[in-house]
């Protein structure tokens, strides 16, 4: 069974940092591009970042460029999102996504990040 | 990186068909066939219903179909059922090497 389990979310003050993790199982993690997508409370989906299968190529949305870093550890089957300089507008549920836009597209259940003083 | 344009809401009666549009530009929807549609029920993670414009993943009902013309993609749901009531999002790859989602459409089954 394919599983993506996000962790590391929580409450953080503006300007603070947080690292999200996504533990993958049930498939060959190293064979897929992986993405982070977020959804603010009551709002729509917004793509955040992606990383290729071996971790050598990354892309970011303009809104997080320079503040967030995506990475992966293929031997540990884990995807990461390091978030620095957090702002109130970063408050959202963050989803880990396998292979977005392709046949094997699959989403985790999400991790809530709340940025507030 | 502006969001793709979707209607905020659509509605239909059981058994009817509805179509949700998703309008972008030549730099995203109109550039290639990497357009997907997602269904999201309240409190749940999104689920892909259509990928690469008109392909259905295994297990997705053939009541769901996708198409594209120019810079506009469309999702059609035929034979509406109560369980189809959800939010629907389109998503496209863009030439800037990013992904762009639509603003979402709330489908109400009357």
B55-100: pLDDT as tens digits: 999 999 999 999 999 999 999 999 999 999 999 999 999 998 999 9
**Tell me, what's the pLDDT at A11?**
97
A90 pLDDT band (50/70/90 cuts)?
A: very high
As given in the structure block, the two tokens for residue B34 are: 């990497």
Query: Please, are residues B65 and B52 in contact by the beta-carbon 8 Å criterion?
Result: no
**Phi/psi zone of residue B30: left (φ > 0), alpha (ψ -120 to 50 degrees), beta?**
alpha
Contact indicator for A36, A58 with CB cutoff of 8 Å: no
CB distance B57–A47 less than 8 Å? no
Per-residue model confidence (pLDDT) at position A25: 97
* pLDDT for the residue numbered A83: 98
The pLDDT mean for chain B works out to 96
Interface of A with B (CB under 8 A): 35, 37, 44-47, 50, 59-63, 95, 100-103, 105-110
Residue pLDDT, tens place only, A9-62: 999 999 999 999 999 999 999 999 999 999 999 999 999 999 999 999 999 999
Mean pLDDT over residues A90-98, rounded?
Answer: 98
B8, closest residue in chain A (CA to CA): A44
A·B CB contacts under 8 A: 62
Distance from the first to the final alpha carbon of chain B: 34
| pLDDT at residue B19 greater than cutoff 80 | yes
Q: How far apart are alpha carbons B79 and B17 in whole angstroms? A: 6
Q: How far is CA A23 from CA A1, A73, B43, B44, B76, in A?
A: 13, 10, 21, 19, 34
Q: Residue A83's Cα: distance from chain center in Å?
A: 10
């Amino acid at each position: 069974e394919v599983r993506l389990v996000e962790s590391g979310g929580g409450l953080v003050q503006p300007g603070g940092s947080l690292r999200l993790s996504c533990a993958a199982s049930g498939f060959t993690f190293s064979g897929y591009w992986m993405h982070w997508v977020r959804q603010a409370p009551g709002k729509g989906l917004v793509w955040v970042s992606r990383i290729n299968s071996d971790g050598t190529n990354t892309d970011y949305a303009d809104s997080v460029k320079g503040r967030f870093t995506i990475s992966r550890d293929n031997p540990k089957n884990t995807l990461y999102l390091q978030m620095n300089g957090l702002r109130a507008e970063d408050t959202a549920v963050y989803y880990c996504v396998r292979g977005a836009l392709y046949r094997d597209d699959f989403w985790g259940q999400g991790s809530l990040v709340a940025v507030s003083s | 990186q502006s969001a793709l344009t979707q209607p905020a809401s659509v509605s239909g009666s059981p058994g009817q068909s509805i179509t949700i549009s998703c309008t972008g530009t030549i730099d995203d929807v109109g550039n290639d066939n990497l357009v997907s549609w997602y269904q999201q029920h309240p409190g749940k993670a999104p689920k892909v219903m259509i990928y690469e414009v008109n392909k259905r993943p295994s297990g997705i009902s053939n009541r769901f179909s996708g198409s594209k013309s120019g810079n506009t993609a469309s999702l059609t749901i035929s034979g509406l059922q109560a369980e189809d009531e959800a939010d629907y999002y389109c998503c496209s790859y863009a030439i800037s090497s990013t992904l762009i989602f639509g603003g979402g459409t709330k489908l109400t089954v009357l």
